[in-house]
Structure 1
Amino acid sequence: MNLFVNAFTHLDASLWCPEHGLTGASWWVDLELQGPQGDDGMILDFGEVKPWTKRAIDAGPDHTLLVPEHAEGVTVQTLPDERLCITTQTPYAMTVTGPAEAFTLLPVDRVTPEVIAQYLMAELNPKLPVPGQLTLALRAEPIEGAELHYSHGLRLHQGNCQRIAHGHRSRLHIWRDGQEAPEVAARLAARWNHAYLYDQADDVSPSLMGEAPSEPLTSLAYTAAQGLFELTLPTHVCHALPVQTTVENLADALAQQLHEIEPGHHWRVCLNEGIDKGACAQRSAS
């Protein structure tokens, strides 16, 4: 007999994708427990297993960069200071370094929800705090309308959001004068979809003299509580903001963009940060 809990937690991460490069993702995590019924009629104590499993996921792949070690052009190197350096070639060149706990290395050529679930079950079942067998499944939130997959890092955050390459799959809703404007939301979402969003203060790109490179690059670096993080990406996949790229600031930036383009309207922007959380910002008509 099995017990189940659907959507008992969320997993937010970035991953390296052969088609899109660095991209954000968010999934619900469903949990199933198998075991014999005890004298009390229960199989296992969910009150013990659920928080343990959530803590293990939060301390594992959540808010990391999911790296397919066997993907074409992907190289993983351990640096002398025990940080990891990930380099890629396809569909574009990227270099990212950071503490080892900021990455989840997967021995596959493509990251999928099934791969992550198998990885988690292999890690967690030998340590399960009660007798039984744990099964996990990851599934994407159904989204009707505009969505975007973005990656970022929050230098000032004290938790795992400080990791330079983590991300989210998010809803975007926009209202113009109280009426939802899905076409506007789709247009703005496309600008940031599969993009890296960063604070201009983290830009350490060198000043170039003479002939410009064929592929302009943006280099970012900062030291946060967990250590030194560095990232270099093609400039065309990066979007700078003058502030930290929290969901509050992202929603506010979109609202300001709309106000500048069409100042004669009242705009309301609601942007999710993954699943079931986010921020709203407004601008009034001039």
Structure 2
Amino acid sequence: MKLFVKDLTVIDSTYLCPDRGLVGESWLVDIELGGSLNDMDMLLDFGQVKKLIKRLIDEKVDHKLLVPNRSPLCKVKTGEGYTQLDFMRPHGKSIHLRCPDEAYTFIDSVEVSNEALTAYVKNVVLEQLPANIQDLAITLRHESIDGPYYHYSHGLKKHDGNCQRIAHGHRSTIEIQVDGEYDIDLATSWAMKWRNIYLGSESDEISQQDISFYQQQAWQDHYAFAYQSPQGFFELVLPKQETDILPCETTVENLAAYIASTLAKVMEGHSLKVIAYEGVGKGAISEVYR
């Protein structure tokens, strides 16, 4: 007997990639359970599926930085509840963080592939399932998007949940309308502008010398960010060419408004509508009327 749940949850996280740097991603999660019926003639109550399995996935991988633990590029130091991570990419594109331990998930692989992440999630969930469940299949898949989309990472220091983690992200659709008509060229241009981007707030930018683990090393062509939030102190250093600094907090509401206001400056006399998504099925709308 098997039981299945489609779209159980969405994982919104960022993973480290040698080529792309910080990659914000969103995965839809489907599960299939196999085994024998329990004393209620069920494999597992659907309420328990959502309560147990969704909670485990959310706790272990959602809104975290996914790190390929066996990558030779990763240098890790831990102590006193904090983890310092140096991702030593070539060509001056290294990435450095010091964050509370809970901000990371370490995947036992050389790279964070769909297969490696799926295996990690499956092992985490299997350990907590009741004895009558003998088999578990997990599918991580991307939302089917017909139009432009971008991958972005960010952190929200004012957030009281896990969005405050300085390097988590999303795979997000963007739609732009001009005078009531969908403009795919404008949407595509913004998707390309923010392809594999870190969106930082200018209020969080600091001098490299103020990073706690700075060792008189010059990170040429890098930005540094840091902030205190309810979960602890977060620090990040990453390449300028993979970063866009905005004059606001990088909430999806502000992202939609920023795009709309930027376009309005060069498109006078036109009405604009920006629909910016944050991952799957949610987002914000900003409109400018002329």
State the TM bucket, normalised to the shorter chain. Answer: over 0.9
Give 1:221's match in structure 2, choosing from 223, 226, 238: 226
* Moved beyond 2 Å, runs of 4+: 37-44
**2:235 counterpart of 1:230:** yes
Which is further off, 86-95 or 149-158?
A: 86-95
Q: Tell whether the 8 Å contact from 1:23 to 1:149 is kept in structure 2 after alignment.
A: yes
Determine if the alignment matches structure 1 residue 150 to structure 2 residue 149: no
Offset at 1:214?
8.5
Task: Say whether the 8 Å CA contact 1:197–1:245 is kept in structure 2.
Answer: yes
1:40 CA displacement: 5.4
TM-score, normalised by the number of residues in structure 2: 0.92
Name the residue aligned to 2:124: 123
Alignment gaps of 5+ in structure 1: 208-212
Residues 206/15 of structure 1: CA separation in 2 closer, same or farther (3 Å cut): closer
Q: How does 1:36-75 map to 2 (within 5 A)?
A: 36-38=36-38, 41-75=41-75
Instruction: Report how far residue 215 of structure 1 moved.
Output: 3.1
Question: Is the CA contact 2:256–2:274 (under 8 Å) kept in the aligned structure 1?
Answer: yes
- What is the aligned-residue identity percentage? 40
Residue identity opposite 1:179 in structure 2: E
Kindly state the Cα deviation for residue 251 of structure 1 after the two structures are TM-superposed. 0.6
Per the TM alignment, residue 89 of structure 1 is displaced from its structure 2 partner at its CA by: 2.0
Is the partner of 1:127 in helix, strand or coil? coil
Task: Choose the corresponding residue for 1:241, options 231, 246, 250.
Answer: 246
Q: What corresponds to 1:273 in structure 2?
A: 278
Structure 2 match to 1:198: 200
Quick check: 1:14–1:167 contact (8 Å CA) kept in 2?
yes
1:188 maps to a residue whose letter is W
The Cα shift of 1:193 comes to: 1.2
Give the distance between the partners of 1:166 and 1:81, measured in 2 at CA.
22
Are 2:82 and 1:77 equivalent residues in the alignment? no
Q: Secondary structure at the match of 1:255?
A: helix
Q: Partners in 2 of 1:14 and 1:38 — Cα distance? A: 38
Distance 1:10 1:275 in 2: 7
Deviations 1:106-146 (A, max 9, x none): 12111122211211111121211463033211001111111
Q: Structure 1 length as normaliser, TM-score?
A: 0.93
Spell out, residue by residue over 1:46-73, the C-alpha distance to the aligned partner (whole angstroms, 9 max, x if none). 2212221111111111000000122242
Change (3 A) 1:229 1:40: closer
- The whole-number CA distance in structure 2 between the counterparts of 1:137 and 1:119 is 12
SS at match of 2:127: helix
In structure 2, runs of 5+ residues without a counterpart are 210-217
Q: Give 1:235 shift.
A: 1.4
Rounded to whole Å, the distance in 1 between the matches of 2:119 and 2:236 is 29
Change (3 A) 1:52 1:240: same
Cα distance in 1, alignment partners of residues 9 and 289 from structure 2: 36
Matched letter for residue 113 of structure 1: N
Q: AA paired with 1:139?
A: R
1:81 deviates by 2.2
Cα distance in structure 2, aligned partners of 1:40 and 1:99: 42
Code of the aligned partner of 2:266: I
Cα distance per residue 1:130-178 (max 9 Å; x no partner) = 6303321100111111100000000000000000000000000110100
Seen in structure 2, the aligned counterparts of structure 1 residues 21 and 44 have a Cα distance that, compared at 3 Å, is same
CA contact 1:44–1:130 (8 Å) conserved in 2 = no
RMSD: 1.6
